[in-house]
Amino acid sequence: MSDEEAPVLIVGGGLSGLTTALFLAWRGVPALLVERHPGPSFHPRAHRVNERTMELMRAIPGLEDALVDAGPWAIEDFAMVIGMTVTGPEMHRMNLAEEAEAVIDASITPVRVSSAGQDQIEPVLLKFAKEHGADVRFGTELVSFSADDSGVSAVIRDRTSGSSQTVRARYLVAADGHRSAVREALGIGTHGVGTLSHNVNVTFESPALPRFMKGKEATLYYLRNPKFTGSYIGTHIPERGSVSFDYDPAKEPLSSFDDTKCIQRVRAAFGVWNLEAKVVEILPWEMASRVADRFRSGRVFLIGDAAHQMTPAGGLGGQTAMQDGYDIAWKLAAVLQGSAGAGLLDTYEDERKPVAEVTVARTVVNYIERLAPHRTDVPRDVKADNIGVTIGYRYRSRAVLTEEPDDGLPAENPREPSGRPGTRGAHVRLERDGIPVSTIDLTGEEFVLLAGPEGGAWTEAAGQTDAPLTAYRVGGDLVDVDGNWAERYGVGKAGAVLLRPDGYIAWRSAEGADEPATVLEKVLAQVLQR
């Protein structure tokens, strides 16, 4: 007999775990989350909530605003600089708002991007998760677990009182980081390039920072000089910054990095040898490139760093983690609430593992180009460009009715959407009852069927199904402001598109059908695996 029960037990309260807890709770599934640390992250670590992640976050009223407000800078001001020192000449500067290949503008998505660091993002996710009914317990660790055909039994322990209790859950989500004890217990290995470098993050404070960084507050520096190889970025506190640098443990043991030595590295990064500064926190970490061999074992799922570890070059680690959390949350909720069959959960690994493989490979290339051009020992496996892995990645699974021929590409250019199943539903400007709305805003809570102006038979068919589905007719219920909906989704006037809760296209019909209700029922039965 267990002390308590929960539909889902989440182990780990970082970006991926909190996102999972939030979106489960928002969908009416009050998960239990345990995190061994006493509170959210203190160190900035991952930065930004990018466009694709924000499209998912935007579904919850007020969350996009809260995440944007948490950021210290307007994202339009953000720049990336490559140089020798922070105060020295710039070898290369890339302003994201001016770099054509990097720009994801209003023609691609209506969302805003947040410049917040992980230490600012996590409290926002925590607040919203609790408000929606998630049970989040910091200072609580997983001691052990066992899984069977009907669920997972776990022992958790309060690290302050030392008291333990048993929990019985239908599913367990492992969000416990790259050293995942859950993954290790399951015997799931990893593959990839492996360790690229050993690093130390130093958060520090200096009264001189506002003077040195005036006009350059929103800048990420990649630095390389004889005394320092690493990066620098500011924080929401003007006098506080963060450097990250690599070291050789064979020559410098980690224990040697005391406050004095770390301040010397800070000074080397700035090229100012008399810089007055004090250490706030020292955080060792390993830069690595790895992907778990499996993302699922029975009723246990791996997400975030437990499933994949990538370099910070490109800022994609935190984004991928949050997107994992969203994906497993909507699928678990659908199964637990009876609208989908258990087979839908198989699509988590089918969809998210290929995305992780491509994204991890991209961040290795980013690392080499920005910090380690001398690393000829590391393979440059370019599967997709940065915009592709940010907002153009594709899904292939039983929850998508893939069209043939399939080109097999891992991503598509979001500026040239195809409307093919397995791709993200493109942003199209619409009006509903005179109010501007994007196709992005229609999804989130449930499935959405969009039919053309002569597709009334499809919307009628949607009304006959018991699936969680809302239907609209573009050219009827919705006004196509720019007249480009049919082109961007690849359908005719009588055609239709089925969008999943994550905004991905599950199926489309270019035109009408003789028996639309029968067709739609078969489509939903496959997508929902019921």
Active site (catalytic) residues: 222
The token pair at 41 is 């992250």
Q: How far apart are CA 24 and CA 438, in angstroms?
A: 24
Strands 4-11 and 32-35: parallel
Comparing C-alpha atoms, which of 76, 287, 32 is closest to residue 165? 32
Both tokens of 86, joined, read: 């922070």
Sheet (strand 469-473) strand order: 469-473, 447-451, 496-499, 505-509
DSSP state of 392: I
Q: How many helices (H) and strands (E) does the chain have?
A: 14, 25
**Cα(185)–Cα(188) distance, integer angstroms:** 8
Backbone φ and ψ of 84, nearest 5°: -90, -40
Query: To which H or E segment does residue 94 belong?
Result: strand 90-95
Q: Please, how many CA atoms are within 13 Å of residue 63, restricted to the half-sphere of its CB?
A: 25
Question: What residues contact 322, with CB distance under 8 A and at least 6 apart?
Answer: 15, 16, 19, 49, 53, 56, 57
3-state secondary structure of 486: helix
What is the C-alpha to C-alpha distance for residues 283 and 466, in angstroms, rounded to an integer?
51
Helix extents (H) in 46-179: 51-57, 63-70, 118-131
